[in-house]
Structure 1
């Protein structure tokens, strides 16, 4: 390790839910006549860990949201996190990439956490844009109320643009999918990996430059693709928010965790779409 480089983080994607039966128009504006355009979505939370430092990225959703939205909850998020030795009760830092139901739905399960979010996101989620059902639909009002309670209890840290949370871990405002979507850049033993969250749901969105249909600002989403590429060491260092290929490209930490958790701080074993 170079003396000027920070110690690397371990980085994991933890799968907790799935949505099947999607059509091309569900994943790409204008649809798409290409292989895997009708891809299912997987739902992840991510963990960056370095010694005693632990950062959980997003908090997922619970059974009631899965029922209401027709998703399959494979394992409760807190149980999923325990597979990599993380106890949600003691986690001190949670990065919320945005406030959609599938990324900020279990905040109450993190009683010791400080929540990191962009200024623009709660302004969007509680402002005039929520008068429009199509923009309001991906949010859960109870999750937003829970977030506001965390704010009033002094447990929210706001960021405006780029911020360093720790040496080797930074957040960056992207917008596009929501007004305040942020991505997370993590220094690992293989270099800079970008947890893109919903800056690109699928590899196909960023690779084909076709936005995902759930979008607040198409121009910002496309510019977000550019920023993701700039911040990642290579295309193999980009981790999309919902692509099933993540579970195929990266290895599990152990045979027992196959299909449940993958390591993102090692090179992918496959780069095929």
Structure 2
């Protein structure tokens, strides 16, 4: 079968952050450290798979974290409308990855069983662990489940030809990365298994974590799954936009052709 195209869609940013927000162990915690927010589109001919959904204006207002583009508007340069999306890989159920599920009513969700159990279980009695989740997004997932539109995985699984999910955990109990066959080789959408290149390359843990060992082991897994370290795509790093070419609109970058310059590792 043919290879997949991959597009990174930036829909939001948060610049009032420091390195203390990104790394548990760092010598310069007060230095600025901005964050980009992405979702990703996989495309092969008429086939389309959306990886994560971003979050909408209502969630942005509730959390005081504005978005630049509504997820639906962000997809329009690719010629995609909400009803066109029939498959969504949910890397995990945090608000910025699952906050737009309701915008894609025709989609079947692909999710790790461990993530659903985590987001609906006793761990959510702890405010610190509950903070990145929003109840309405979890309820939307449950509604989709009762409509027969959730596919659960327990570990590693093929979603379709050339698209494989791998359970990482760490940041969230059922966090999964997505390995995709492209013209550049096997590319890994790390999502929050590595927020930044520096997390995975320098083995620096991100502060929001449920299992630190799983997070650290996950860095090794990302390296093992990618054909080249430069094909590991972190979930929130603004550097992605400098390593990969812009396509169709300023907020969209094409990944599957490979980086346009060497990725610093």
**Normalised by the shorter chain, which TM-score bucket?**
over 0.9
2:17/2:32 contact within 8 Å kept: yes
Q: Tell me the number of residue pairs that the alignment of Structure 1 and Structure 2 aligns.
A: 264
> Taking structure 1 as reference, are residues 98 and 37 closer, same or farther at Cα in structure 2, changes over 3 Å only?
farther
- Equivalent of 1:12 in 7, 13, 34: 7
- Equivalent of 2:201 in 204, 207, 210: 207
2:230/2:263 contact within 8 Å kept: no
Distance 1:70 1:38 in 2: 19
The question of 1:52 aligning with 2:46 is answered: yes
Q: Report Cα offsets for 1:9-43 as digits up to 9, x if no partner.
A: 01000000011111111000033439x96321100
2:88/2:107 contact within 8 Å kept: yes
The question of 1:25 aligning with 2:16 is answered: no
Q: Give runs of ≥4 in structure 1 deviating > 3 Å.
A: none
The question of 1:129 aligning with 2:123 is answered: yes
What SS does structure 1 have at the residue aligned with 2:179?
strand
2:197/2:237 contact within 8 Å kept: yes
Q: Please, which runs of 5 or more residues in structure 1 have no aligned partner?
A: 1-5
Shift of residue 111, structure 1, vs aligned partner: 1.3
Shift of residue 84, structure 1, vs aligned partner: 1.4
The question of 1:140 aligning with 2:134 is answered: yes
Distance 2:226 2:92 in 1: 20
The question of 1:190 aligning with 2:214 is answered: no
Distance 1:123 1:158 in 2: 11
Q: Report Cα offsets for 1:221-253 as digits up to 9, x if no partner.
A: 011111111000111100000000011111012
What SS does structure 2 have at the residue aligned with 1:130?
helix
In the TM superposition, what are the counterparts of 1:96-111 in structure 2 within 5 Å? 96-111=90-105
Q: Please, which runs of 5 or more residues in structure 2 have no aligned partner?
A: none
Distance 1:163 1:37 in 2: 39
1:27/1:38 contact within 8 Å kept: no
Task: Please give the root-mean-square deviation of Cα atoms over the aligned residues, in Å.
Answer: 1.5
Equivalent in the alignment of 1:229: 223
Q: Report Cα offsets for 1:125-174 as digits up to 9, x if no partner.
A: 00010010000000001111111111111110001111111111100100
Distance 1:152 1:32 in 2: 48
State the TM-score, normalized to the length of structure 1.
0.93
Distance 1:57 1:26 in 2: 24
> Taking structure 1 as reference, are residues 37 and 232 closer, same or farther at Cα in structure 2, changes over 3 Å only?
farther
In the TM superposition, what are the counterparts of 1:150-189 in structure 2 within 5 Å? 150-189=144-183
